Amino acid sequence: MLKQVSIYAENKKGCFQKITGILKDNNINILGSVTNDTAEYGIIRMVVSDPEKSLEVLKAAGFICKTTSVLAIECPDEVGAFDKILKALYDSNINVNYTYLSFNRDSGLPIMVMHTDDVHAVENILVNKGYNSIS
């Protein structure tokens, strides 16, 4: 199971770069990311190479952040691959809260990072359907 870092940040010029700079300065690689914003604040969600160290250095810099378990499922790079994953979850009565894309640096295949209410159950469902879970 992967740990995602969620960072609550002001929606102002340079804030996102300050975060990426802190991660760079601490040799933390960003493996996948998505941002959601409002007029004043945003949530930056990232899968990083060292989530615990990320929390430590970002909190020390004054950012509010936390880790959350997410699921990363490798999927074929073909039309309809993501739809098949979502259909399998729909058929199992599973709601997906949000997703974003990364890729497996070893295989070069896309990885769908997803958050659900029960990531362990969803992982079991998808692994039993032949999908590869990345941790």
Q: Are residues 55 and 111 in the same domain?
A: no
pLDDT at 105: 84
Q: What is the C-alpha to C-alpha distance for residues 96 and 82, in angstroms, rounded to an integer?
A: 12
**Is the separation of the CB atoms in 135 and 3 below 8 Å?**
no
pTM above 0.95? no
| Among 68, 100, 122, residue at a domain's last position | 68
- pLDDT tens digits along 37-73: 777 788 999 999 999 999 999 999 999 999 999 999 9
Q: Are residues 63 and 80 in the same domain?
A: no
pLDDT at 74: 93
Residue 83's domain comprises 70-134
Q: Are residues 58 and 76 in the same domain?
A: no
**In CATH, what number is assigned to the domain containing residue 108?**
3.30.70.260
**Is the separation of the CB atoms in 74 and 107 below 8 Å?**
yes
pLDDT at 40: 79
pLDDT at 37: 77
pLDDT at 104: 86
Domain count, the chain: 2
SS (H, E, C) 17-49: HHHHHHHHHCCCCEEEEEEEECCCEEEEEEEEC
| Among 68, 85, 109, residue at a domain's last position | 68
| Among 16, 42, 68, residue at a domain's last position | 68
Q: Are residues 45 and 97 in the same domain?
A: no
Q: Are residues 49 and 78 in the same domain?
A: no
Cβ-Cβ contacts under 8 Å for 81 (sequence gap 6 or more): 75, 110
Provide the pLDDT confidence category of residue 135 given band limits of 50, 70 and 90. confident
**In CATH, what number is assigned to the domain containing residue 43?**
3.30.2130.10
Provide the pLDDT confidence category of residue 36 given band limits of 50, 70 and 90. confident
- pLDDT tens digits along 91-127: 999 999 999 999 888 888 999 999 999 999 999 999 9
